[in-house]
Amino acid sequence: MSSILVTGGAGYIGSHVAHELVDDGRQVVILDNLSTGVRENMPDEATFVHGDVGDYELVVRLLAEHDVAAVMHFAGNIVVPESVENPLKYYRNNTAATRELLSACVATGVGQFVFSSTAAVYGMPSAEELPVTEETPTAPINPYGASKLMTEWMLRDVDHAHDFRYVALRYFNVAGADPKGRTGQSTPQATHLIKVCSQTALGMRDELSIFGTDYETRDGTCIRDYIHVTDLARVHILALEALERGEESRVLNCGYGHGYTVREVIDAVKRVSEVDFDVVEAPRRAGDPPELIADSTKLREQFGWQPAHDDLDEIVRTALEWEEQT
């Protein structure tokens, strides 16, 4: 039986997809350098290889030894402010390392690839551009977004030149945890709002800062399209199946198409946790667009995707449950 290579499978989203693939009866090989990933979050059934996606020789060997038919590429660095301070880390680990991985795929004839892209490729869309479609101009405003957009360009060009097809998934704000409690967001210094709120509700942080209360939104705070990680994991299975059917390459937004303000998220975490934690109003965080909402029509129409967890309280509940058990 051929296998699926999941890079970054010890990380937050990759581990959810790895569990989903195993549930689906797939043979899974995980390549992860454990820089932010957690060993325990991977499914026991997967083969784990401790290594780097930028290690061309290792990846070539791995693709051949495990008869890899498709790659799902999650590995990378994801902290936007860090990318501003240390851009070359992001161009190396996101862009250059992916170049090596793609090179290994071309050398071994692995022609199916699912890539974790991001809404950060859109930068600061104007109010008229919302919700953003895949045709909204890409204009990243930080090295993180640029490093991912450059990878999308590599994928496009490799598709043109070789027997290679891909699905690039532009995730919006991923949140929540596996409802079965097998994995969740484990990065200790995570900056994501729902993770930070959950930790504050559970007394692991003293207070929560709202970054900016003077945006032109319904309550002055930023609006984001939060997608439950389990719904996102399902998209990856659908993408893989499309590639297996021989369908063409594509880029797809992954979000629900509606959003919540920071204050609405805080209210949900207080409601679900029944803890009235301290909140302070802080200045705007550099580089935050006021509103980011996905137009996910293509995803729904092309893959028949139907979210099963489109509910803020459920997202928050699973995030809290994960935080409590770790």
Ligand X SMILES: O=c1ccn([C@@H]2O[C@H](COP(=O)(O)OP(=O)(O)O[C@H]3O[C@H](CO)[C@@H](O)[C@H](O)[C@H]3O)[C@@H](O)[C@H]2O)c(=O)[nH]1
**Which residues sit at the interface with ligand X, rule CB under 6 A?**
78, 118-120, 172-173, 191-193, 196, 208-211, 222, 224, 262, 285, 288, 292
φ and ψ at 291, to 5 degrees? -145, 135
13 binds ligand NAD (CB under 6 A): yes
Token readout for 153 is 């360009």
Residue 210's binding partner among ligand NAD, ligand X, none (Cβ under 5 to 8 angstroms by kind) is ligand X
Q: For residue 149, what is the DSSP state?
A: H
Residue 109 has a CB neighbour count (10 Å cut-off) of: 11
By rule CB under 6 A, what string of x and - marks binding of each residue 150-189 to ligand NAD? Answer: ---------------------x-xx------------x--
Which three-class secondary structure state does DSSP give residue 163? coil
Residue with Cβ nearer ligand NAD (153 or 281): 153
CB of 310 to ligand X, least distance (A): 17
- Shortest CB 284 distance to ligand X, Å: 7
- Interface map 66-105 toward ligand NAD (x if CB under 6 A): --------xxx-x--------------x---x--------
Closest distance between ligand NAD and the C-beta of residue 15, in Å? 8
The answer to whether 176 touches 124, Cβ cutoff 8 Å, is no
The yes or no reply on residue 201 touching ligand NAD (CB under 6 A) is no
* Binding residue for ligand NAD, selected from 3, 4, 12, 260, defined by CB under 6 A: 12
Residue 209 near which of ligand NAD, ligand X, none (CB within 5-8 Å, type-dependent): ligand X
Between CA 48 and CA 32 the distance in angstroms is: 8
Residue 144 a catalytic site member: yes
Per-residue CA distances from 80 to 95, 221, 225 (Å): 15, 19, 17
d(CA 36, CA 74): 12
Q: Which two tokens stand for residue 116?
A: 């974790």
Residue 187 contacts which entry, ligand NAD, ligand X, none (Cβ below 5-8 A, type-dependent):
ligand NAD
What angle (nearest 5°) sits at the alpha carbon of residue 320, between those of residues 216 and 271? Answer: 55
Q: Tell me phi and psi for residue 106, to 5 degrees.
A: -65, -45
Largest CA distance in the chain: 56
Degrees to nearest 5, angle at CA 238 with 233 and 242: 145
Smallest distance from ligand X to CB 243, Å: 23
Active site residues: 144
Positions touching ligand NAD (CB under 6 A) are 7-8, 10-14, 31-37, 52-54, 74-76, 78, 93, 97, 116, 118, 171, 173-174, 187
